[in-house]
Amino acid sequence: MSKQIELKIVTPEKVLYQGLVDSVSLPTMEGEITILPDHIPIISAIKAGELKMKIDGKYQYFSITRGVAEVDGKTITLLTDAAESVHEIDEKRAQEAKERAQAIMSEKRHDEESYADAVVQMERALSRIKIAKKRSRGQSSTSSQQ
DSSP-derived secondary structure for 57-114 = TEEEEEEE-SEEEEE-SSEEEEEES-EEEGGG--HHHHHHHHHHHHHHHHH-TT-HHH
**In 3-state terms, what secondary structure has residue 10?**
strand
Contact 67, 80 (CB under 8 A): yes
Greatest Cα-to-Cα distance within the chain, rounded to the nearest angstrom: 55
CA distances for 106 relative to 116, 122, 124, 126, angstroms: 12, 12, 17, 17
Query: Residue 120: its pLDDT value, please?
Result: 72
Highest mean pLDDT among 17-26, 78-87, 125-134: 17-26
**Rounded mean pLDDT, 11-23:** 94
Q: What is the pLDDT of residues 50-100, one digit of tens each?
A: 899 999 999 998 889 899 999 998 999 999 988 887 767 666 777 777 777
Higher pLDDT, 6 or 97: 6
**pLDDT of 9 strictly over 80:** yes
One-letter amino acid for residue 51 of the chain: L
Give strand pairing partners of 9: 17, 78
Q: Model-level pTM?
A: 0.70
pLDDT at 138: 59
Count of alpha carbons within 13 Å of 92, Cβ hemisphere only? Answer: 0
pLDDT for res 145: 38
Q: How confident is the model at residue 126 (pLDDT cuts 50, 70, 90)?
A: confident
> What is the rounded average pLDDT of the residues 32-57?
94
pLDDT at 146: 40
Architecture of domain 5-86: Sandwich (2.60)
Give pLDDT, residue 135. 60
